[in-house]
Every structure is written in structure tokens, then in C-alpha cells.
A and B are shown apart, each in its own frame.
Chain A
Amino acid sequence: MKIYLRLFANARDLAGFGEQAVDLEGNPRAAEVLDYLSRVNPEFNAWRRSIRLAVNRRYVDEGHVLSENDEVAVIPPVSGG
């Protein structure tokens, strides 16, 4: 199943890309995006608990079931203001 990843700030630096289409098998949950990123760069493991995911611009928890063509944003701790 194809999803579209968007990465920001520190997460983009760790991954080395800001956008990527990714094929995940079966009925993946949002957590599998974090598993994928940990394979891209093991340093993501240290950030895993502080990263939030947003599907189609809404925050979701790690158990959220993804759908075909979802846009999954990888949101490291926000620091606006």
C-alpha cells in the first residue's frame, strides 16, 4: 500500500529527505512508519517517543490504521512561538 511521507525539521535531517512515497505491506498502522524510519536511520529510535504522526493533517496515535494514498507527516517536537 502506497503512502506519502512528509518530514520536517530534525526528522527531515535524520532521514535525509523531506518527502517520499513508501510502499508498506498489508494493513499498516502508523507505528510502521516509525519502524520504517528506524531502518532508514537508527537514530530515529532515540526520537521515537517524542515524534508525533499526522495523517492527512490530523494528529493520530501509533495504532491508527493507514489507508492507500494517506499523507503521513512526521512531526518532531514543535518549537513555535
Chain B
Amino acid sequence: MVALTLNPIDIEAVVAKLITPASGGVNVFIGTTRNHSHGREVTLLEYEAFEPMAIELMGDLERRAHEQWPLHGVVLVHRLGKVSIGEASVVVGVSASHRKEAFEACRYLIDSLKKEVPVWKREHFADGTVEWSGENQKSQIKKQNKSKSEIKN
């Protein structure tokens, strides 16, 4: 099951969906919104997605996980819109007969989701500025590269 939601993620409901009589374990990764980013205080996060593509890619990940491991269930849920500090922004869960495949599949799913799925985070800082995640580092990289090329020249 894959989903994008504007509402708080019901973690109990995710776990209930995953447990089957054959399951020996459920592994759930909960990504939560933190109050700091690169040393600056964050007060609120906002997520947006290219929704149809995100749903398609999350569905691909679900299928690939089922192909690679003998899983009973897979759930991927990502929150969109404004998310307060300390809330779950993403929940990835799997169930399987044994913990080894549950841990491996869960790790694969969250790592792949973060690399591939078109979702973006906007950080609201305590000083009132709002930035897309990575925007500031990018401009710093640009400046660093620029100063490097200036040195070369």
C-alpha cells in the first residue's frame, strides 16, 4: 500500500495493516521532522510532491521489494503540506516471516524513497526565512566552485 496524505500518519493503522498470521516480525521506519538543519533552528516543514509520479515510483519500490524479499506486506506513506516539528513525515513498514528480510527491505525502501521519489521539503527557519532543503548548500557549493575556479585562473 502506498499513499500521500495531508493528514497525520496513523502509525498504529500502518502496523495493523502489516501484521499477518504468517508474519514473524514487522519493521517500521518513521521519519520525523527535526527542529534543526545545518545548525539553524527550524520551526516548521512543508512538503510538496509531483503526486502522480511519486505514487507511481512508490508503487515500483513496493513491487521491487516484493521481488527481492519474501515479504507479507509493504506500506509506504509520505506526508504532504505543513508538518509540525516532531511529527512523522514518512512511514515505511514491512512484514515478513523473519527479521533479516524485514530489516533489509525496510532499509532498501526508505533509502530508495529518499533518492528517487519526487517529494520536496521546505524549511521554515526561526529567523523567518523559508528555503527549499538543499537550496542554501547548493549556493554555497556554487560559491566554493566559483572561488576554486578563480584560484585556478
Q: Which residues of A contact B (CB under 8 A)?
A: 6, 8-10, 13, 46-47, 50, 54, 57, 59, 73, 75-81
Number of A-B contacts (CB under 8 A): 68
Name the interface size band of chain B: 20 to 34
CB contact between B113 and one of A13, A57, A81 (< 8 Å): that residue = A81
Q: Which residues of B contact A (CB under 8 A)?
A: 31, 47-50, 52-53, 56, 78, 89-90, 110, 113-122, 132-135, 138-139, 142
**How close is B107's CB to chain A, nearest CB, in angstroms?**
13
Q: A9-B132, A46-B142, A50-B138 are known contacts. Are A80 and B52 too (CB-CB below 8 A)? A: no
Question: A interface, by DSSP: helix, strand, loop or mixed?
Answer: mixed
How far is it, in angstroms, between the C-alpha of A46 and the C-alpha of B142 when the chains are bound? 7
In the bound complex, do residue A46 and residue B138 qualify as a contact, i.e. CB atoms below 8 Å apart?
A: yes
In the bound complex, do residue A78 and residue B114 qualify as a contact, i.e. CB atoms below 8 Å apart?
A: yes
Cβ–Cβ < 8 Å partners of B49 in chain A: 80
CB contact between A10 and one of B89, B115, B132, B142 (< 8 Å): that residue = B132
**How close is A6's CB to chain B, nearest CB, in angstroms?**
7
In the bound complex, do residue B90 and residue A9 qualify as a contact, i.e. CB atoms below 8 Å apart?
A: no
